[in-house]
């Protein structure tokens, strides 16, 4: 018999698995970075699918688990919106890279685009964390 406790535990496990997938997706780049520092030129296309499956799949799994757990969506303030905008900017940085690499067959160095990607994504995540901490502080005061 399926009980509410089993459903809750399953959703919580999905949430934790989503977090694990996100971290594995991010940490996929560690060998790439180590090889770049060592002077090698590893192909971006060997690491990108694992990164995308981990980050996108993990975030979707986490969102589904939050819905299943009945966690209400957070209030979206100004910092939250700006944080998401920065993350989108950080992701969209790759559009010109892939256009130049695939369409025009120009030799493009990934390191010319990576700082903008990391600045957008990490800056956006920082703003999301600040927004979360502010909302938590406001919830505690009430």
**Alpha-carbon distance 87 to 74, whole Å?**
18
Residue 141 contacts residue 117 (beta carbons within 8 Å): no
Q: What is the pLDDT of residue 73?
A: 74
Whether residue 105 sits in one domain with residue 59: no
Look at residues 50, 73, 96 and tell me which one is the last residue of a structural domain. Answer: 73
Confidence of residue 117 (pLDDT cuts 50, 70, 90): very high
Range of the domain at 81: 74-142
What does each C-alpha distance from 46 to 52, 75, 94, 108, 110 come to in angstroms?
11, 38, 16, 17, 14
Whether residue 69 sits in one domain with residue 79: no
Residues 12-47: pLDDT tens digits? Answer: 899 999 999 999 999 998 998 899 899 998 888 889
Whether residue 133 sits in one domain with residue 107: yes
Whether residue 78 sits in one domain with residue 45: no
Whether residue 80 sits in one domain with residue 67: no
**Alpha-carbon distance 121 to 116, whole Å?**
9
Kindly write down the DSSP assignment for every residue of 54-77, as one continuous string.
HHHHHHHHHHHHHHHHTPPPPP--
**Alpha-carbon distance 47 to 129, whole Å?**
27
Mean pLDDT estimate for the chain: 88
What domain count does the chain have?
Answer: 2
In this prediction the pTM is 0.73
């Amino acid at each position: 018999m399926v009980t509410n406790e089993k459903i809750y535990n399953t959703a919580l496990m999905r949430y934790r698995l989503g977090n694990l997938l996100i971290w594995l997706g991010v940490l996929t780049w560690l060998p790439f970075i180590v090889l770049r520092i060592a002077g090698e030129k590893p192909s971006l296309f060997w690491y990108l699918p694992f990164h995308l499956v981990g980050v996108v799949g993990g975030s979707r799994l986490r969102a589904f688990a939050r819905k299943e757990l009945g966690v209400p969506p957070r209030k979206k303030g100004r910092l939250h919106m700006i944080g998401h905008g920065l993350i989108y900017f950080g992701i969209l940085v790759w559009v010109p890279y892939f256009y130049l690499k695939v369409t025009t067959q120009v030799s493009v160095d990934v390191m010319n685009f990576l700082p903008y990607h990391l600045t957008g994504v990490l800056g956006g995540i920082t703003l999301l964390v600040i927004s979360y901490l502010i909302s938590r502080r406001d919830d505690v005061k009430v």
